[in-house]
Amino acid sequence: MAAITQTLLTLLESGDRVLCHRSVYDWTDTFFREEAPRFGITTAQVDLRDLTAVDKALQTPTKLVYFEPLSNPGLDLIDVPAVVELAHDAGAVVVVDNTFLTPYLFKPLRVGADVVIHTATKYLSGHGDAMGGIAISNDQALMDRIRRGRNIYGGVISPFNAFLIMRGIGSLHVRMPAHCANALQVAEFLHDHPQVADVRYPGLPDDHGHGVATRLLQAGYGGMLG
């Protein structure tokens, strides 16, 4: 959360407006609903899968668009290039939390996102023994601002946690294909089970995000299902 909140507080100021997907990680949602207003920051939440709704929401001046390409916990898959194009046309910065997909499956910077955040505690470390967050950008000016915010707010990772996360990243290319294969097998089993009413997984052909997934994702559909 330090990577998320420090990035947002660094890039936003009083009077700014954020456009956020309807479903994001619970504590991120809490930040937008309860903490951001204390700083004079307003947030509008819409379903970013609906590009018409996104375009309409961006008619109101917006400083930043925030979402998770594969949302937690709703597993909504966002058409990132399309949302980025609309956001940039409106003059907004795009910040995404790519934790669920990891850079193994999807690289948002390559399709125009301005800042990408990862919760390194999860897939990147991979061993459940480290905590950390990462914010990256291709824009040097944005990175300089984020680094300055990190120094001011003090959310700096410990050297040992950094070591553990770097160790885990070394096996990400082995672990992610296994996660994807296992999740797809479980999703297909539950999808066909008579006692299961609904399964959310972008690898299923009838999932709302399957078309976007087959176009954007590089090597699988992720390890999360609902």
**Short-list 18, 15, 4, 6, CA closest to 93:** 18
Question: Residue 9: pLDDT band by 50, 70, 90 thresholds?
Answer: very high
**Short-list 63, 64, 66, CA closest to 108:** 66
Q: What domains sit in the chain, N to C, each tagged with a CATH number?
A: 2-167 (3.40.640.10), 169-216 (3.90.1150.10)
Mean pLDDT of 41-63: 98
Q: How far apart are CA 183 and CA 185, in angstroms?
A: 5
Residue pair 101/71 in contact (Cβ under 8 Å)? The answer is no
Q: How far apart are CA 187 and CA 183, in angstroms?
A: 6
DSSP readout, 101-162?
A: THHHH--GGGGT-SEEEEETTTTTT-SS----EEEE-S-HHHHHHHHHHHHHH-----HHHH
Q: How far apart are CA 132 and CA 118, in angstroms?
A: 9
Residue pair 46/73 in contact (Cβ under 8 Å)? The answer is no
Radius of gyration of the chain (CA): 18
The dihedral built from the CA positions of residue 203, 205, 208 and 213, taken in this order, carries a sign that is: positive
Q: How far apart are CA 3 and CA 7, in angstroms?
A: 6
Q: What is the pLDDT of residue 218?
A: 80
Percent of the chain with pLDDT over 90: 98
Residue pair 48/77 in contact (Cβ under 8 Å)? The answer is no
Mean pLDDT of 16-31: 97
pLDDT in tens, 110-162: 999 999 999 999 999 999 999 999 999 999 999 999 999 999 999 899 999 99
Mean pLDDT of 72-90: 97
Q: How far apart are CA 202 and CA 206, in angstroms?
A: 8
What's the farthest any 2 CA atoms get from each other in the chain?
A: 54
Q: What is the pLDDT of residue 103?
A: 97
pLDDT in tens, 174-193: 999 999 999 999 999 999 99
